[in-house]
Structure 1
Amino acid sequence: MTDQTRPAMTMRQIREGLGHVKPGQPEPTVRATQYVVTCIPEDEGPGGYRGITVEYRGDDRYAVLRLGWCLGTDGEWEYEMRPSERDDAWLDSHCFDLDTALRLAKKAAQDVNAP
C-alpha cells in the first residue's frame, strides 16, 4: 500500500535521487539557432546550398538570410553588417520574432531557383 498523503515526486527529484544529476545543477537549455528553408530538394543539381536561413540573433529575434544578405522589414535584401556595426535601429529593421521570420523565409524561398 502506498502513502497517498505524500505528493508525487517531480522528474527532477527522481533524477537527483538516482544520482543522475547533482542537486542544484541547472537543467540544460536547448535552442535551435538556425533553420534552413528551401523548396529545392537537397540532392537536386550539383552540390552547394540553395535556400534561405533563419538565424537566431539574440533577444528572441531572428534574421532571414540568403548568402550573406539579410531581409529587412521593407522587404528589401541588404548586406548583413558585422555584429559590431549593428545598432538598435538596424536590428529592429532586420530581425523578427520566430514566427514572422519563418513566414518571410518561406515566401522568399519560393523565389530561389536551382542553378
Structure 2
Amino acid sequence: MTDPKPALTMREIREALGHVKPGEPEVLVSITRYAVSVLPPGDINRRYFTLHVELTHRGWIVTDGHGGYDADGGWEPGRLGAHPFADYDDALALARRLAPGLTVNGHTATEAYQRTHPTRAAADDGLPKHEIWSAHCEDGCCR
C-alpha cells in the first residue's frame, strides 16, 4: 500500500491556482479600525456621529476623532486617555453602547437619525405631514 500524499497547505493551493507566485511573500490584510454609528452609510451627518474602534500598540481603543473613552464611557481629550481593550469585542460593545448618545452641538446621534429618517409614527404626532415627509417624498406620496 502506498502512502497517501500529505494535504496541501493553503499557500500551495493558492500557488497552484496562480493567485500567488512561488517564492514571493504574501500580501497580508489586517482590519485595524471599525466605524460604529446609528446613522447609515451615506447619511450626511454620519461622519460627525461616528465612533471608531481602532487597534493601537496598546490595544483596541474607542475614539471620536478628538478624544478617547475610558472603560466606563467617560471621555477625555486626545487618544492617551482611551482605555486599551485587549479584545476588540469589548471595545465594540462600549462603542455600540455609546453611539446612540454621541452628542454634537447639543444633538444626539439618535436625534440626528430621527431628523433625517422620519418614521410613520412621527407623522402621527400632529405635525404637518409635509414638513416631516418632504425630504423623503418629493412626489408628495406621503402627504
TM-score, normalised via structure 2 length = 0.57
Shift of 1:37: 0.5
Alignment length, in residue pairs? Answer: 102
Consecutive unaligned residues in structure 2, runs of 5 or more? 103-108, 116-143
Specify every segment of 5 or more residues in structure 1 that has no aligned partner in the other structure, as ranges. none
Identity of aligned residues (%): 34
Task: Give the CA deviation at 1:17.
Answer: 5.3
Which structure exhibits the higher relative contact order, with contacts defined as CA atoms closer than 8 Å and separated by 6 or more residues?
A: 1
> For each residue in 1:54-102, what CA deviation from the matched residue of structure 2 results, as whole angstroms up to 9, or x when unmatched?
111125x111011311001243100114xxxx5xxx5xx6111201100
Q: Let me know the Cα RMSD of the aligned residues.
A: 2.8
Q: List 4+ stretches of structure 1 deviating above 6 A.
A: none
Residue of structure 2 equivalent to 1:95? 84
For residue 46 of structure 1, report the CA deviation from its aligned partner.
Answer: 5.4
Q: Determine the C-alpha separation between the residues in 1 that align with 2:17 and 2:64.
A: 47
Mapped partners of 1:47, 1:74: distance in 2 = 24
TM-score where L is the length of structure 1: 0.68
Larger radius of gyration: 2
Change (3 A) 1:111 1:78: same
